[in-house]
A and B are shown apart, each in its own frame.
Chain A
Amino acid sequence: MKKTEAESYSERISLPEFSLWERMKEKRNLVSFDLEITARCNNNCRHCYINLPQEDKAAQQRELSAGQINKIADEAVSLGAFWCLISGGEPLLRKDFFEIYLGLKKRGLLVSVFTNAGLITDKHIRLFKSYPPRDIEVSVYGVTKETYERVSRKPGSFNHFIRGLNLLLDSGIRVRLKAMALRSNVGELPEIARFCRQKTKDYFRFDPFLHLRFDRDTRRNAEIKSERLSDQEITAIERADSQRLGVLRDRCDKLIMPQREHSSCGHLFHCGAGQGSFTVSYDGLFRLCSSLWQEDCIYDLKKGSLGEAWDDFVPRVRQRHSDNREFLEKCQNCPIINLCLWCPAHSHLESGRLDEPVDYFCKVAHSRKDMLA
């Protein structure tokens, strides 16, 4: 028997530096998965791609039980998963949230939670203090009642958000903050960024890319489109954020790739969907990523196993090709595709097809390229 270190048999490893992340990228390995444990939400945000009303009984009845979630988690762990994100809807709406959260933790998973913080109570704080999450990511829709509730469309939600966020921060639980940049809050974005950076030393990110709805609800999709910022507005806020602009400039050689112009591959999926992670909807639908809702790319876990979905179904989906000439000429070889929101999943949400160019995405990508030039 030999010790690999002079004096220690165990080694402390900081998670961000864990070599496993790099090794897992070398080939297709399951690292993480997202569980949308409910589609319901206590808010009614204008830009949200998933939220159903809190009191939607039909949606509630379709939600996976804690037992079904545990079964999925067991299979995911046996496939090597290491990290799980609990999201929604608003996950804290689930009365069995504690059971679900602890079930995942006790299976040896790192657990992150996405929440709007409005439902955080002392009981949640005790849970997170005793059994720490990897992080809690809280969405910040505004830093004034007027702006926040213009987005959330729920009277009183701003006070609940502030109370919940302060409970989390005061207890020392690791919190990350993020903001969606949309028409209803763009005027307050600098204040939102300042607020977030004051509240936590951890990273803050904002996202100006609003996805369309998973259920393709036409009325809600029209609302989302009306909340989208123009290409010029998006580049203006990116340019104004030195941190974000710095990251984009540092990664410029990966974001703009002239050699793609010579690619002749017709495969649709060049992204990481289904390579190291997957997403499960509130009602047990397995997808390669949270945005991919095309019916042939969905596997119902209530009728099959996660092993089959991961080992057989995903590689089949990733083999899909396109013969749409417009897409192949315009997008498939586009050297700035990495600056673009375009992907097969978003193409489907926008057009109903996995291989349609989307003018809005194209405009934004070209403006971003000009910004980086």
Chain B
Amino acid sequence: MEKKVSLKSIYVPSGDVVAREVQGEFIIIPVASGITEEEDEIFSLNETGKAVWERLDGGKTLQDVISGLCVEFEAAPEEIKEDVLGLSKELLKRRMLVEKDRS
């Protein structure tokens, strides 16, 4: 079942992946098994993906991330929200992000 993304939640990079910038490309390398569908795969994030990923530091809700991006980028808030939600959904599905346990 697909997990619902909440603006009030805090999401953090999973310990099962490592994000690195290599030769100007922002890539996510699976450390543990089960992240990729095929063997021998990595992931590359585009500029939007990178900007969002770098703000997922464990201290911000998705709403905080969106607000921060709205200040930094000249784009309509609705567009930014759509981007952040879209990316988060994609990364959660791939187990690259996990929801931070606030208990």
Contact = CB atoms under 8 A, between A and B. Distances in A.
Interface string A49-84: 000000000000000000000000000010010100
A82 B22 contact: yes
**Interface residues of B toward A: which range?**
35 or more
Contact of A1 (B20, B23, B75): B75
Interface majority SS (helix, strand, loop, mixed), chain A: loop
Interface string B38-75: 11111111111101100000000000000001000101
Given A3-B83, A131-B33, A9 B42 contact: no
Interface in B2-61: 18-20, 22-23, 25, 27-33, 36-49, 51-52
A20 interface: yes
B90 A8 contact: yes
B31 A2 contact: no
B45 A9 contact: yes
Nearest to A80: B22
Contacts of B43: 10-13
A15 B90 contact: no
B18 A13 contact: no
B29 A110 contact: yes
Complex A-B, nearest 5 residue pairs according to Cβ-Cβ distance, in ascending order = A108-B18, A4-B46, A9-B49, A9-B87, A15-B40
Interface of B: 18-20, 22-23, 25, 27-33, 36-49, 51-52, 69, 73, 75, 79-80, 83, 86-87, 90-91, 94, 96
27 contacts: A1-B69, A2-B47, A3-B48, A3-B83, A4-B46, A4-B48, A5-B46, A9-B45, A9-B90, A10-B43, A10-B49, A10-B94, A11-B44, A12-B41, A12-B43, A13-B27, A13-B41, A14-B38, A14-B41, A18-B42, A23-B23, A80-B23, A105-B31, A106-B31, A108-B20, A131-B32, A174-B40
